[in-house]
Every structure is written in structure tokens, then in C-alpha cells.
Amino acid sequence: MYKDMTKEQLAAEKAAVKAKYEEYKAEGLKLDMSRGKPATEQLDLTDDMLLHCLDGAHISETGVDCRNYGVLDGIYEAKRLFMAMLEVGRYEIIVGGNSSLCMMYDSIARAMLLGVMGGKKPWSKYEHVKFLCPAPGYDRHFAICESMGIEMITVPYKEDGPDMDMIEELVSKDEEIKGIWCVPMYSNPMGITYSDEVVRRFANLSPKADDFRIYWDNAYCVHHLTDTPDHLLNILEECKKTGKEDMVYIFTSTSKISFPGGGLAVLAASEDNINFIKNQMAYQTIGYDKLNQLRHARFFKDFDGIKEHMKKHRAIIEPKFNAVLDALDREIAPLGIGNWHKPNGGYFIAFDGLDGTAKRTVQLCKEAGVVLTDAGATFPYGIDPRDRNIRLAPTFPTVDELKKAIEIFCTAVKLASIEVMEGNSDL
Amino acid sequence: MYKDMTKEQLAAEKAAVKAKYEEYKAEGLKLDMSRGKPATEQLDLTDDMLLHCLDGAHISETGVDCRNYGVLDGIYEAKRLFMAMLEVGRYEIIVGGNSSLCMMYDSIARAMLLGVMGGKKPWSKYEHVKFLCPAPGYDRHFAICESMGIEMITVPYKEDGPDMDMIEELVSKDEEIKGIWCVPMYSNPMGITYSDEVVRRFANLSPKADDFRIYWDNAYCVHHLTDTPDHLLNILEECKKTGKEDMVYIFTSTSKISFPGGGLAVLAASEDNINFIKNQMAYQTIGYDKLNQLRHARFFKDFDGIKEHMKKHRAIIEPKFNAVLDALDREIAPLGIGNWHKPNGGYFIAFDGLDGTAKRTVQLCKEAGVVLTDAGATFPYGIDPRDRNIRLAPTFPTVDELKKAIEIFCTAVKLASIEVMEGNSDL
């Protein structure tokens, strides 16, 4: 443990680590662990979808020519895939275009400009609009709020989800709080899944604002990495039990199932919410790409097809997660200079270093040719108050690249930690 | 001519027309001329795009794996298709998803929430926002404004475009006027193309608002129906000549070239506008469906490929336009109870009946099994002040269906006209 070392021992360790770091730096590497991007090998898994799914047959089960206009909320066989995946009903779902980020953005844009069901007026007509942001979280969620001038309030994480005491207290008192961002399963970047109790407390929220919504971004609901995957309670079902089924919007996509660039995005919510949203959406478009919906429905056939497909993804990315976790266990754990959660699924490992080391670690990695997500990016306004959280995205590089990259990362963590400890000891 | 008939002659004509109408009604037909929807035969023209364009090759010319994330503004080979089509440069274009309506809506939503380049604040921060709406026009343009509470000011049409005197006067005086909707070629529903003088006067506008934009929906730029097509001046070029190249957003799509449900939408504008818009768009999405962009680029190869393809569309729909125009010439022209423009392209014929007859004509058609676009739909707020304009959409039905439908339409026009004339003569 670094903290048990004498000043001299630490100085010697620093010299050794620094030498190692300079060696890596001299190699002139170029490695990227910055984004949750599937590897080429993963994309290949779905290639057949592009070849034979539409051979002269463009008519959906319900008789829709998917080449032509119409069907705002998506064709039935595509809905059926996601009804099973999200455990929602036929009238509780909209299948959209290729981006769930776009669906979330559009949903907030509609709330700002047109208003939410049950609201007194569009959000943009309020003096202030606020969102609760459990953090570390997904930088693109926070960016949407920032772009629209929505004030973000950071909510810390506990082991089984965000701090519910704080959330219950805040939403019950402040009408300006209109929403909360959640990635409830294999969260980005923490990799944790909300416990049953946390989900039930969400379903029991009593927000002061009539037009408060939980933005439940279930992006990783089938992205398991072990034989003992996490289980997430169905928030819509739980909200029905409390009579608050209009309080939640659920999002997911096939970006990391089929293709990030050409998948399907999904919005699920209560039937009343869906009907309200469809009426608003009709101003924006006549319909999303139904040919791509038909491709997906025919390729996967049913939810079992998706589950089987995800096993192939797991076979590719599990070794990559293990390469990162093994290195952290070996190199960092004995030194007491970092914490992380071993995720059962998802796309990220979140590393918490000593306070004040994250920016420096990312900088050191960058100078040695390893690109990480910017330090701070996992917090609202890009500011990590303790400067300690770093998101690691292991899926895109090869296992060999990854082993190299994580060696460099561990070296950078050590160096940054010693620097901080030396600084502290000087005080 | 009905107007030259005596009261008795008109009554006799009415009895004859009514008898004919009752005959049609008894047939119990079901025909739809309401929307500008390509026919199944037209969709078949592009089927090969869905089969062989992506055989194991998903890498764009510039090395992008189109299956993965990235490339917000579209892949280069897709841009190249539309650069030629719209006569704009590489940095003046964004290729998006499957709906230009969506691109237009999003563009106005961004203006409302985030603001337009050069504007003092987002439009939603103004007390009032107004749009000029040349009418008859496209109902979905007007619906976007209505949904966002943008006040619409109707501008009448002349033979070669909207009333430019009125437009010049209004925009120069009123800072609340932030935009104008234009369908400059084969306009929806008038079928007219703006003259060179009209385009130049647009490029010379001196709006009071710094953040005024011309929404130039060039949806029918290659949708010719004759060997002597109309020609539209390049508005972006003309605006460059006047130094006002930031004043215009150009939109188009392949909805009526490839597939309405699975085509590509395009936004073109000055390089500064494009860069500004890309920065704003980055909050909404990581990128549109690049696989579909690659499909289109490989299928059409180049702009000549699109032009050749459009000849096949023309071969299918020209006889349908002729069926409608022939019937109007034969049945209506001699009676002096209607006017229309014979379009050289596009998707519509706009019929102007006697004042006060449009709603009644549409109602009579509906009762006889022929669905038309609602009377008034071509005007802001759905209100045609003279109740005379009806949009005819001849593309979707077969020629035989269309001949029947237009017979019924002509009969309904006659009956509605006589009813109005009798009413008038009673005054």
C-alpha cells in the first residue's frame, strides 16, 4: 500500500514507475479506450442482416409496405422484439430511427417546446428547469441538459443505485425539477444495476412537478458478461402498482446489438404517454425507417434470437473486460490507490483513483499514446468535484492492444497517485 | 359556361349532374387521392438497392466503417450525390436520416431552443415569432409552425412564385418574422417553379431580423414530368452574389426517388451555417444511418444515375397526371368553374374552384368514396379564406382508379358550383 510507505520508499517507487512510463512513452503507441464502441468483429456478427432479409418481400405482417410512407410508431414485428425485451405491452412502445440518444434529445426538446402530458405549460416557459443527474453518469445525457440551459443537480451513487434519500427529498420540494437521468442496468460508467429497492423507491416518488419524468435509459438491458447476470425490476410495472405509470420514459436501442450506425431505437412508456407523444411526434416525421425495422425483425426473429446473439457479443468482449480487471487487480489493488466495480455487463469500467488524480492520469496516458474519455466527462458540466473518476471503455481495441493500454493506464495511475501523495505530504 | 346559363338551364344541368353523382355513389367505390405517395410500381424501381449494395463491404471511400458510430454529417459518397443534385459544395451539405420533414422540424426546434447563427437569442425567448407562409402550400410545413406557436402570415401566390412585394415589405419591417416556407420547384400543391426574378429577389431580401432564414424545401428538384422541365436558379449561389449566403437553408430528400420510408434527407447551406448546425446537432445524435447512405451512393453511383432513375418514375406517373389534366380540360374548362396549372413536374395538381366550393366538393367526393386532401389543408391554420383550393395527388392510384376518381371529382365540382351559383342568384 502506497499509504504505508515512507517518504523514501515512495520516492524510490516513483523513480521506478517513471522509468517504466518513459519506456512506454518511447514506444509511440496509438490506442483508444475513450468511447463505448463495438469492435469490428462484433459488427461482423450481424452482417447477414444486410443481405437476405428483404429479398423482394417488403410487406410487414400487418400488410404495411415498409418502403412507403406511414406507421409513425413502428411496424408490429419490430415492436414485438422490444415488447419482450423491455417487458411492455403493444401500446406502450414506439420503435424509431437509429439513435436512442436522438429519441431522448427529441423527447426533451418536445417537453421544452410543446410540454409533457399533465404539465401546465412547456418547460421552456418556466424561469428555470432542473434535472437530477446521478453521477458518474453518461456525458451525452448531461450535454443535452447543458445545451438547453437545464440546470443539473449532481446526485451521488451508492452501491445499488443513486442516493434515493436525496432524490426523494429534492423532487418533493422543487417544482422546477422536471426530470432525472438514469442508466439503471450496468450503468454508464459505473457498471452497477439498480437494486429492487431503488427501483421501487423510484416508482414511489412524489414529485412536486406534475410534469416530472424519469428518463430510464436501459441501454444495456441484454448486455450481460457473466452466467450470473444482474436483474433489473421492470420500472413501468412498479409504477403501475403505485398508480404513477405516467412518470417514466424508458429508452433502449440495438446500437450495441446490431449496428451503432444502423440500428433501432425504442421508447416505452404508459399507453397514455405513448399516445400523447405520438400526437406530438406527428409534427416531426411521417415515420422512421421501416425497412430497417423489418430487417431487424426478420434477422432476430424474436427475443430469444436477441439473447442468443448477445452471447456472441459476450464471447468477444468478456476477455477484454477481464484483461482490464485482471490488470487492475494485479497492479492497483495491492497499492490501495483505486476502486472499481466488477460489472456483470455493459460497456464500461469506472475507475475511482485518489482524489485529484483523474485529470493527471488521463493526461499522462494521452502523452503515452492512450486516449481515454476526458476526466470529468462523467459529471455534469464536465466537473468531477473530487477529480478521481475515469471511464474505461474496453470493447473497441483488440485484447493485445488493451493489455498494453491498461499497463500504461496502471503506470499512469501510480505516477499520478505518488505525485498527489508527495504534494499532500508537503503540506 | 355555367355563368351564361339561365336559371332554368342551370336547374336542368343540376338534375343531370346530380343523377350522375348518385350513380357513382351507388357504386360504393374506395379511392384515395389525398397524399403525395408513390405507387407500388415506383417503389419496385429501387428494390435492387436492398439486395446487393452492401455485400460484405461496409467501408466508405474515406475509410469509415458505416456499421459503427460516427460521421455526424454523412459519408462523402452520399454527400457527392446531393452536391451535384443541389449544386453545392462539399462543406455546404449534411446528409441525414430518412425524413426531410424531420430535418426541417429539427432545424426549427433548434432555432427555438438554441438559436440561429447571428441571432441574439433563441427564438423561443421572443414574445412572438412569425413565419411567412406562401399559400396554397404544404400542410406539414404549416403544422410545424402551429405546433410551436409560431404565428403564420399568409402570402398569396402569383404566376411565378409568391408575392415578392409583400414579402420584401414585411421582412424589412418586422423583427419577429424569422422565416419563410418555400417549395420553389414544382411547388406543393401549385406545381409552379419560382422564376429567376423571384429567386433573385429572395437573395436580395433585407430582413430586419438578424436570424431570419428562408426554408427552401426543394423536394421536387429532379421530379420532372416533361421533356421541357422547369429550371430553378441556385438560391445559395444567388445569395453569395448578394453576400447573404447565411440567409437560406435548403432541404431535399430521396423520399420520392428511392423509398419514402427508407430514403435519405439532405440539408444544404453556407459553410458557416453548416458548421454552426453541426455543433448543435452533436447534442442530438452521434450520426444518422450511414449504411443506408452507402446503399444509396452505391445504387445510384452519381447524379446521372439519379437522373436516369427519375425517367423511370416519370414513365409511371406522367400518364396519371395526364388522366387528371385531360378530364379537367374536358369536363371543367368549358364550364368556367375552375382553374389549375399544368405542372412540368412534382407530385400535385392544385385545383381552384369557384369561391365557396372546396369544402363541399371534398365532402361530395368523400360520400362517393373518393378521399381527397381536406379542403383548407393547403393554407395556414387549415383555413382557405376563399374556400376554393383543392390539392389533387395523382401518383398512388392506378390509372384506371384515377380515371374513375377524377370523373367523380369533376361531377362533384359541377354540383358544388351549381349549388353556390343558385345560392348566389337567390340573394
Contact criterion met (CB below 8 Å) for A349 and A394: yes
Helices marked H in A59-99 — which ranges?
Answer: 76-86
Chain B interface includes A262 (CB < 8 A):
yes
Ramachandran area for residue A366 (φ above 0: left; ψ -120 to 50: alpha; else beta):
alpha
* Banded model confidence at residue A412, pLDDT cuts 50, 70, 90: very high
Among A43, A58, A114, select the one facing B147 at the smallest CB separation.
A114
CB atoms closer than 10 angstroms to residue B121: 11
Please state, rounded to an integer, the average pLDDT across all residues of chain B.
96
Using the beta-carbon criterion (under 8 Å), do A285 and B105 form an inter-chain contact? yes
Using the beta-carbon criterion (under 8 Å), do B259 and A43 form an inter-chain contact? no
SS3 B81: helix
Q: How far is B66 from chain A (nearest CA, A)?
A: 6
Q: By percentage, how much of chain A surpasses pLDDT 90? A: 97
Q: How far is A55 from chain B (nearest CA, A)?
A: 6
What distance in Å separates the CA atoms of residue B178 and residue B102, rounded to the nearest whole number? Answer: 19
Q: How large is the ipTM?
A: 0.96
Taking only the tens place, the pLDDT of each residue in B21-34 is: 999 999 999 999 99
| CA B119 vs CA A279, B81, B106, B152, B235: distances in Å | 30, 32, 17, 20, 21
For residue B255, which phi and psi values (nearest 5 degrees)?
A: -55, -35
Using the beta-carbon criterion (under 8 Å), do B68 and A292 form an inter-chain contact? no
What mean pLDDT is predicted for residues B204-210? 97
Chain B interface includes A51 (CB < 8 A):
yes
Could you list the beta-strand ranges (E) of B118-212.
130-135, 151-158, 161-162, 177-182
Using the beta-carbon criterion (under 8 Å), do B98 and A99 form an inter-chain contact? no
Among B38, B69, B148, select the one facing A261 at the smallest CB separation.
B69
Within 8 A of A124 by CB-CB distance, chain B residues are: 112-113, 124
Ramachandran area for residue B211 (φ above 0: left; ψ -120 to 50: alpha; else beta):
alpha
Using the beta-carbon criterion (under 8 Å), do B66 and A105 form an inter-chain contact? no
Using the beta-carbon criterion (under 8 Å), do A262 and B289 form an inter-chain contact? yes
* Banded model confidence at residue A95, pLDDT cuts 50, 70, 90: very high
| Chain position carrying cell 413501468 | A236
- pLDDT in the model for residue A372: 96
What distance in Å separates the CA atoms of residue A319 and residue B42, rounded to the nearest whole number? Answer: 49
Predicted confidence (pLDDT) at residue B427 exceeds the cutoff of 50: no
- pLDDT in the model for residue B200: 98
Taking only the tens place, the pLDDT of each residue in A259-302 is: 999 999 999 999 999 999 999 999 999 999 999 999 999 999 99
Using the beta-carbon criterion (under 8 Å), do A259 and B291 form an inter-chain contact? yes
Roughly how many angstroms between the first and final C-alpha of chain A, as a whole number? 21
Please state, rounded to an integer, the average pLDDT across all residues of chain A.
96
- pLDDT in the model for residue B276: 98
Contact criterion met (CB below 8 Å) for B268 and B218: no
Chain A interface includes B66 (CB < 8 A):
yes
Using the beta-carbon criterion (under 8 Å), do B262 and A292 form an inter-chain contact? yes
Using the beta-carbon criterion (under 8 Å), do B260 and A109 form an inter-chain contact? no
Taking only the tens place, the pLDDT of each residue in A219-267 is: 999 999 999 999 999 999 999 999 999 999 999 999 999 999 999 999 9
Among B38, B124, B291, select the one facing A262 at the smallest CB separation.
B291
Provide the chain A residues 267-306 that lie in CB contact (below 8 A) with chain B.
280, 283-292
Provide the chain B residues 125-154 that lie in CB contact (below 8 A) with chain A.
140, 143-144, 147-148
Predicted confidence (pLDDT) at residue A427 exceeds the cutoff of 50: no
- pLDDT in the model for residue A425: 52
What distance in Å separates the CA atoms of residue B44 and residue B49, rounded to the nearest whole number? Answer: 10
Interface with chain A: mutation pick from B52, B102, B251, highest number of A CBs within 10 Å: B102
Taking only the tens place, the pLDDT of each residue in B271-318 is: 999 999 999 999 999 999 999 999 999 999 999 999 999 999 999 999
SS3 B65: strand
Contact criterion met (CB below 8 Å) for B349 and B324: yes
* Banded model confidence at residue A55, pLDDT cuts 50, 70, 90: confident
What distance in Å separates the CA atoms of residue B368 and residue A296, rounded to the nearest whole number? Answer: 41
Among A54, A65, A105, select the one facing B40 at the smallest CB separation.
A65
Predicted confidence (pLDDT) at residue B218 exceeds the cutoff of 80: yes
Contact criterion met (CB below 8 Å) for B409 and B372: yes
Predicted confidence (pLDDT) at residue B413 exceeds the cutoff of 50: yes
Using the beta-carbon criterion (under 8 Å), do B35 and A68 form an inter-chain contact? no
* Banded model confidence at residue B425, pLDDT cuts 50, 70, 90: low
Chain B interface includes A313 (CB < 8 A):
no
Helices marked H in B119-256 — which ranges?
Answer: 139-147, 164-173, 196-203, 235-241
What mean pLDDT is predicted for residues B390-396? 97
Q: Report the run of H or E that residue A107 belongs to, with start and end.
A: helix A100-113
What distance in Å separates the CA atoms of residue B218 and residue B212, rounded to the nearest whole number? Answer: 18
**Angle made by CA atoms B207, B212, B217, in degrees to the nearest 5:** 115
Taking only the tens place, the pLDDT of each residue in B339-354 is: 999 999 999 999 999 9
| CA A28 vs CA A14, A83, A365, A399, A405: distances in Å | 22, 48, 12, 19, 12
Who's near B176: CB < 8 A, 6+ residues apart? B126, B127, B128, B129, B130, B151, B209
What distance in Å separates the CA atoms of residue B58 and residue A40, rounded to the nearest whole number? Answer: 11
Give me A278's grid cell.
405520438
Helices marked H in A155-302 — which ranges?
Answer: 164-173, 196-203, 235-241, 271-281, 290-300
Q: By percentage, how much of chain B surpasses pLDDT 70? A: 99
Contact criterion met (CB below 8 Å) for A49 and A299: yes
Within 8 A of B124 by CB-CB distance, chain A residues are: 112-113, 124
Taking only the tens place, the pLDDT of each residue in B142-166 is: 999 999 999 999 999 999 999 999 9
